[in-house]
Amino acid sequence: MFSALRPGVTLYILDKTREPQIKTGFVDNVTIPRPMYKTFNPAASFGTNMQTVVDITAKVGDEKVTYEGVPSALSIHSNGDVVISESREAMISEVDAML
């Protein structure tokens, strides 16, 4: 789960622009989970599982990249032409599905 990431952990990045390429990065910072939606109604949220997101900052090569609004309960997340994963096996499955 992305919410369990800690600084120094490896993050796998699949960049599908131009020619697909897998990069590895190292987590620099993960924010605390926050509600996915900005509306809050205490009566409506009682007894329900609210979806939460985190922002992940990682060092990829020589640059720092921030991934915003990543669902905290997932291990792999796709956003446009970029797929990030905290699990090598999940990334391998994603690449296999592309082929």
Tell which wins on pLDDT, 23 or 48.
Answer: 23
pTM of the model: 0.83
Alpha carbon distance 73, 53 (integer Å): 8
Tell me if residue 21 falls in helix, strand or coil: strand
pLDDT band of residue 49 (cuts 50, 70, 90) is low
Q: What is the pLDDT of residue 94?
A: 84
Residues 3, 92: Cα–Cα separation, whole Å: 21
* pLDDT tier, 25 (very low <50, low <70, confident <90, very high otherwise): very high
Instruction: Tell me the domain boundaries of the chain.
Output: 2-98
Distance CA(26)–CA(59), nearest Å, equals 5
pLDDT of residue 37: 77
Confidence (pLDDT) at 20? 86
- Whether the predicted pLDDT of 5 surpasses 70: yes
